[in-house]
Amino acid sequence: MKFGFIAKHRGIWPIGWLCEALGVSRSGFYAWRSRPPSRRARADEELSGKVRASFLASDRTYGSRRVWHDLLAEGVFCGRHRIERLMRLHALRARPRRRGCRRMWVFGSPPPSLRMFLTAASKPPPQSQMDR
């Protein structure tokens, strides 16, 4: 986490200052930079693609639980919390489902404010004295 912060802000402050402030060695930071991604990071990248594909196939409506069930059905075994973490990391949030359509009024006549607007719109414009 500290090395990620240093990598992100190294254009603003010198690396030596950042390493000293965070209590890490400069050589440790450079070793971290040159290290290849871990096995878990590579597996997370592969799994992220499958999570994204399942999420987009659901028209962005599936949450982590349904994506997890999709992946289990495909034969990809992992934990639900891992799916949640990857979805949060890649900003995949399910859209809420619309439950019916919104109506201005259900039965009878429209509300008074709308009734006034509708009747005013249906009247012809007033004629001036010059038009008569």
pLDDT score for 5: 93
Residue 39, C-beta contacts closer than 8 angstroms, at least 6 positions apart: none
Kindly report the number of other CB atoms within 10 A of residue 106's CB atom.
5
Q: What's the pTM?
A: 0.61
Answer yes or no: is pLDDT of 18 > 60. Answer: yes
Based on the number of CB atoms within 10 Å of its own CB, is 83 exposed (0-12), middle (13-18) or buried (19 or more)?
buried
Higher pLDDT, 69 or 129: 69
Per-residue pLDDT band at 1 (split at 50, 70, 90): confident
pLDDT at 36 (0 to 100): 93
